[in-house]
Structure 1
Amino acid sequence: MTNFARIATLLAALPIWGAGATLVQAADRPPRLVEFQSPLVGGPQALQGYLRLPDGPGPSPAVVLLHGCGGGWRGIDERWGKLLAAWGYVTLTVDSFGTRGITNACTGPPPPTLYDAYRALNFIVGQSSVDPSRVAVMGFSQGAMLALLAVERGEIERSAKEKFRAAIGFYPPCLGLKGNMTVPTLILIGELDDWTPANECRNLAESRDDWGISREKGQGIPIELTVYPGAYHDFDVPHFRTPQKLLGHHLEFNEEARDRSVDAVRKFLYATIGGKEKQP
């Protein structure tokens, strides 16, 4: 039995808050489609996303989820939103493209999504079910870069009133980031990733740029980096059990890497924003 299957079995067996409730019930409930906006961004356009609530009384810790350049926010909610809700976290999976009329942002100029993490954060901390002092951001590929930028010391982080307490990036493009993080940060990436190279994330975590020159060394909170041998881009996406090419890049599901990443995310979130059992 894989780690992922063992975790799912354990979740289904454990009792949780409220008579007769089990952890798996949170994952079984469909998400709620919500709209939100923020004064951080000009214009009237609202964002949308899937909101999931865990079982039991709140307030609970929460996780904002950000998709990559191909969209796929519903898939992220299905893979990670359901699992995190089963663990006891409120989740908000952001759709950065739909209301903007964007279908794909893998080529051409970057989409206007830099502040979307904080737009989502401002919305989610206003929910009575959420503990505003315990919210993390977790992104995938382009969304992982946005998650890291949201907690890197700079204009984006400084301009926000509410703050994230932790960040997780799955296979982010690390080149160009400074690495001066304001909160604990975890990066998970495949050794064979030919779209967002692992070596660039090693340089970031070790305070080097792509020429090996020291940068921001000793500043900020250290980045925790895990590189999975034999894994490519999108290693957590079962849709790519049959490998595919996108814009010349190799996409492939890797069950072992996915299972290890599930365990790493669970431990990291518990260590940084806690879990239900840490409620007063």
Structure 2
Amino acid sequence: MNGQTMNALSWKNGISRFGMSRLCNWKTALLLLTSSLSLAAIAQPSPVSLPSQRPGLQAYWFPAPTSTTQPTLIMLHGCSGTLSKQGRLTPDRLSDATLFNQAGIHLLVLDSFSGRGIKSICELARDFRPINERDRRQDVIDALVWLKQQPGVGTQFAVLGRSHGGQTVLTLLSDALAKQDPNGVEVLANLQGAIALYPGCRQELADPHYRISHPLLMLTGALDDWTAPAPCAALHQKLRERQPEMRFDYTSYADSYHGFDGTAPLRVRSQVANTRSGQATVGGNPLARQAAYDAIFSFLEQIWQRPLSPKPSFSAQ
């Protein structure tokens, strides 16, 4: 799917933007999702500390239960990190691990914050953040080096990043940065493609020389008031013209805000540094969630040239 908006994903219930009926629908959906996951063993993480150029890189390793070598997906969190307030992986990430593991995919969830004493950077202006996308690009490179040494890990890799993690994906794929980092280029040669969900695209759009080094799938929410989708749509168009030979799939989902692929109900988040109001709407859209995972699995099948089964089904939502 190249450069399209999914207009069929309307899920408004006609009561109110954040009405109780939507919340009830979400409660029902979550119960049904939990029940469906309980039918299979929920993947359990193995916390690991990874050797890294910048000390403190941690991760959660979910190897798929298989006796053969399998592909691996590296997952990058957003600006609020990958852990809950209680210091545990969120239910959505545990759900991801189960879904990908069941399809025979190893999952490595990177934690670029906790081991470095960082809880969140959402509240900080870009110039005042203790970690940036280039730092996290190196985290991915270090993770790939570690993964190559793990049993059962094959030669197929992809990266999926959400929000600030999606912006890290755009930095990771920067052709200009690759030319400045020969060692990184050698490591990234193991990568077949990357996925960016609701990233900020303004910086790359403003760069007349920006090019991507690997196939890219980008998914945004048409109503996103945190990382606006318009610059991403424009970037997609520019790169299609600049690099017609490079695969870049883009879809924007109607009626969808930041975090549309998650299970949290819609809410307005405060203390957001990079919006004019200091606020942003976040939360999931069940139909967009299903469509996004369908697109992700289809993309992975194509770049890895292998079927993946079973595929996620959130029909109960």
The TM-score range, normalised by the shorter chain, is 0.7 to 0.9
Matched, 1:231 2:256: yes
User: Which residue in 1 is equivalent to 2:25?
Assistant: none
CA contact (8 A) 1:180 1:219 kept: no
CA contact (8 A) 1:139 1:168 kept: yes
Matched, 1:196 2:221: no
Q: Which moved more, 1:269-278 or 1:100-109?
A: 269-278
Matched, 1:243 2:271: no
From 168, 177, 185, the equivalent of 1:146 is: 168
Q: Which amino acid is the alignment partner of residue 167 of structure 2?
A: M
Q: TM (normalized to structure 1)?
A: 0.80
Q: Which amino acid is the alignment partner of residue 195 of structure 2?
A: I
Q: Distance in 1 between matches of 2:171 and 2:244?
A: 16
Matched, 1:55 2:65: yes
User: Which residue in 2 is equivalent to 1:118?
Assistant: 141
Q: TM (normalized to structure 2)?
A: 0.71
User: Which residue in 2 is equivalent to 1:101?
Assistant: 117
Q: Once the 2 structures are TM-superposed, how far is the Cα of residue 77 of structure 1 from its aligned partner? A: 2.5
SS at match of 2:94: helix
User: Which residue in 1 is equivalent to 2:292?
Assistant: 261
User: Which residue in 1 is equivalent to 2:46?
Assistant: 32
CA contact (8 A) 1:186 1:225 kept: yes
Q: Distance in 2 between matches of 1:9 and 1:36?
A: 33
SS at match of 1:149: helix
Q: Distance in 2 between matches of 1:30 and 1:276?
A: 24
User: Which residue in 2 is equivalent to 1:131?
Assistant: 154
Q: Distance in 2 between matches of 1:202 and 1:55?
A: 38
* C-alpha distance after superposition, 1:181-214 (max 9, x if no partner): 2211000110000111111111111017xxxxxx
* C-alpha distance after superposition, 1:59-89 (max 9, x if no partner): 1000000000011252353232221111110
Q: 1:55-74 alignment to 2 at 5 Å?
A: 55-73=65-83, 74=89
Q: Once the 2 structures are TM-superposed, how far is the Cα of residue 155 of structure 1 from its aligned partner? A: 1.9
Q: Which amino acid is the alignment partner of residue 51 of structure 1?
A: W
CA contact (8 A) 1:60 1:130 kept: yes
CA contact (8 A) 1:36 1:47 kept: yes
Identity of aligned residues (%): 26
CA contact (8 A) 1:96 1:113 kept: yes
SS at match of 1:121: helix
Q: Which amino acid is the alignment partner of residue 197 of structure 1?
A: A
Higher relative contact order (CA 8 A, sep 6+): 2
Q: Once the 2 structures are TM-superposed, how far is the Cα of residue 276 of structure 1 from its aligned partner? A: 6.9
Q: Distance in 2 between matches of 1:168 and 1:242?
A: 23
Q: Distance in 2 between matches of 1:276 and 1:129?
A: 18
Matched, 1:83 2:114: no
Q: 1:260 to 1:195 in 2, by over 3 A?
A: same
Q: Once the 2 structures are TM-superposed, how far is the Cα of residue 257 of structure 1 from its aligned partner? A: 0.4
Structure 2 gaps, min length 5: 1-28, 84-88, 273-278, 310-317
Q: 1:121 to 1:85 in 2, by over 3 A?
A: same
Q: Distance in 2 between matches of 1:63 and 1:31?
A: 14
Q: Once the 2 structures are TM-superposed, how far is the Cα of residue 127 of structure 1 from its aligned partner? A: 1.1
Q: 1:122 to 1:233 in 2, by over 3 A?
A: same
Matched, 1:270 2:284: no
User: Which residue in 2 is equivalent to 1:180?
Assistant: 211
CA RMSD of aligned residues (A): 2.8
SS at match of 1:186: strand
Q: Which moved more, 1:218-227 or 1:51-60?
A: 218-227
CA contact (8 A) 1:190 1:235 kept: yes
Q: Distance in 2 between matches of 1:154 and 1:46?
A: 27
Q: Which moved more, 1:223-232 or 1:106-115?
A: 106-115
Q: 1:82 to 1:277 in 2, by over 3 A?
A: closer
Q: Which moved more, 1:134-143 or 1:99-108?
A: 99-108
Q: 1:267 to 1:219 in 2, by over 3 A?
A: closer
